[in-house]
Amino acid sequence: MTIPIFLIGARGCGKTTTGKALAQAHAWQFVDTDHRLQETAQMTVADLVKLEGWDGFRARETATLEEVTGASRVIATGGGIILSEYNRRFMRENGMVIYLSAPASVLVERLEAYPKASQRPTLTGKPVRDEVGEVLAVRDPIYREAAHYVVNSAQSPEGVIADIQAALRMAQAS
């Protein structure tokens, strides 16, 4: 299988960690849309949002998604990329979409252990502990709708990779 694999999910679900490991296992290229967008813009997501607003950031996010999509790539997407119906359809039609799902408590624990507040603006203006549950409640159904497969990312990184490998084998068999 050489179609791109898109990893979607909330902040802290492990898209970057999983994506790098999966790409290495397949000898594919790894791309993180947020990192690519920040490199291109020469500023953080927080600075982009301050300068251009969320609409401007989301437009850049879509352009970045289109730019990085290619065969033999694992693509870690920003948590809100699925808010655009166009992005959801684009990913489903151009690759395999895997939702890395984790309970809000796990996401909060990870985000508090590795805070990146300067790069990641708050979405609601609330503390991480309050924000994560609210945002996940809204986005979880959208992530599920967009995904070809849902993987429990609260387990060990090895378990996540094993579940994705199993999904890839199922997709190849069908």
Tokens of 16: 């970057």
Q: Is 34 known to sit in a ligand binding site?
A: yes
Q: 70 labelled as ligand-binding?
A: no
Whole-number CA gyration radius for the chain:
15
Q: Is 12 annotated as a binding residue?
A: yes
The reply to whether 133 sits in an annotated binding site is: no
How far apart (Å, rounded) are the C-alpha atoms in residues 23 and 120?
25
Is residue 79 marked as binding? Answer: yes
Return the residue matching tokens 């997407």: 77
Helix segments in 32-149, DSSP class H:
33-41, 45-68, 85-94, 104-113, 128-146
Is 144 annotated to bind a ligand? Reply is: no
Whether the Cβ atoms of residue 98 and residue 5 lie closer than 8 Å to each other:
yes
Tokens of 25: 């296992």
Question: Is 88 a known ligand-binding residue?
Answer: no
Q: Is 14 annotated as a binding residue?
A: yes
The reply to whether 44 sits in an annotated binding site is no
Decide: helix, strand or coil at residue 117.
Answer: coil
Enumerate the known binding-site residues for Mg(2+): 16
Binding residues for substrate: 34, 58, 79, 139
Show binding-site residues for ATP. 12-17, 120
